[in-house]
């Protein structure tokens, strides 16, 4: 009986993770949506890689060594994911960051980072004063996709936080 329980857990564990076969379909549906909501174009280019990392690993990637040192001593770091255009890779945190919830977390981060993928594909990063300016559209897409799909309201990034993160000169 114990063995059976263990193998059941393993199956449930797998079912909870995004299936490799369907993740391409989800990405293409999201990309279609982003294209319809922005000036960005998509012409069948290679899709980004998607990998999952712990929040700690993501903070290590995103922060300078001295800021990471502060974070590891109890500082604040709340990155849900990021897009690395140099290796065309989307990184998603393996658990919800503060203020977000588990339900549809992966999909929420995916649609946000796919907006960045398309921005870089279209050279939008060359037409902004700073990287933060790219966030405004990514948040707008994230929030309207959440409405469209009926994801939990907690997954939205709104208000002052979204504004600050979209401003140049703000880390």
User: Which residue ranges make up the site for Zn ion (CB under 5 A)?
Assistant: 135, 138
- Beta partners for residue 81, in sequence order: 92
- Provide, rounded to whole angstroms, the least separation between the CB of residue 58 and Zn ion: 12
Select from 160, 128, 162 the least CA-distant residue to 143.
162
- Provide, rounded to whole angstroms, the least separation between the CB of residue 51 and Zn ion: 16
Q: Which is nearer to Zn ion, 91 or 138 (CB)?
A: 138
In the sheet that holds 89-93, the strands lie side by side as: 49-53, 89-93, 81-84
Instruction: Please state whether beta strands 81-84 and 49-53 pair in parallel, antiparallel, or not at all (unpaired).
Output: unpaired
Specify the 3-state DSSP secondary structure of 90: strand
Q: Which is nearer to Zn ion, 90 or 138 (CB)?
A: 138
Q: Which is nearer to Zn ion, 107 or 135 (CB)?
A: 135
DSSP for 90-106, please give it.
EEEESSPPTT--STTHH
- Provide, rounded to whole angstroms, the least separation between the CB of residue 10 and Zn ion: 34
Residue whose CB is nearest to Zn ion in the complex, by number: 138
- Provide, rounded to whole angstroms, the least separation between the CB of residue 40 and Zn ion: 14
Q: Which is nearer to Zn ion, 13 or 98 (CB)?
A: 98
- Provide, rounded to whole angstroms, the least separation between the CB of residue 162 and Zn ion: 10
Q: Which is nearer to Zn ion, 104 or 162 (CB)?
A: 162
- Beta partners for residue 8, in sequence order: none
**Alpha helices, H only, the chain:** 2-16, 20-37, 55-62, 65-72, 105-121, 133-149, 159-165
């Amino acid at each position: 009986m114990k063995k059976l329980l263990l193998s059941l857990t393993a199956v449930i564990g797998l079912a909870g993770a995004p299936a490799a076969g369907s993740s391409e379909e989800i990405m293409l549906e999201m990309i279609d949506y982003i294209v319809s909501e922005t000036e960005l174009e998509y012409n069948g280019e290679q899709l980004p890689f998607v990998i999952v990392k712990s929040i700690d690993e993501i903070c290590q990637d995103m922060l300078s060594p001295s800021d990471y040192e502060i974070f590891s001593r109890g500082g604040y770091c709340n990155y849900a994911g990021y897009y690395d255009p140099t290796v065309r890779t989307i990184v998603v945190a393996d658990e919800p960051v503060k203020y977000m919830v588990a339900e549809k977390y992966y999909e929420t981060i995916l649609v946000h980072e796919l907006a960045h993928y398309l921005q870089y594909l279209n050279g939008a990063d060359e037409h902004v004063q700073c990287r933060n300016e790219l966030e405004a559209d990514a948040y707008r897409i994230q929030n309207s996709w959440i409405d469209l799909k009926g994801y939990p309201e907690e997954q939205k990034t709104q208000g002052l936080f979204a504004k600050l993160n979209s401003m140049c000169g703000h880390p």
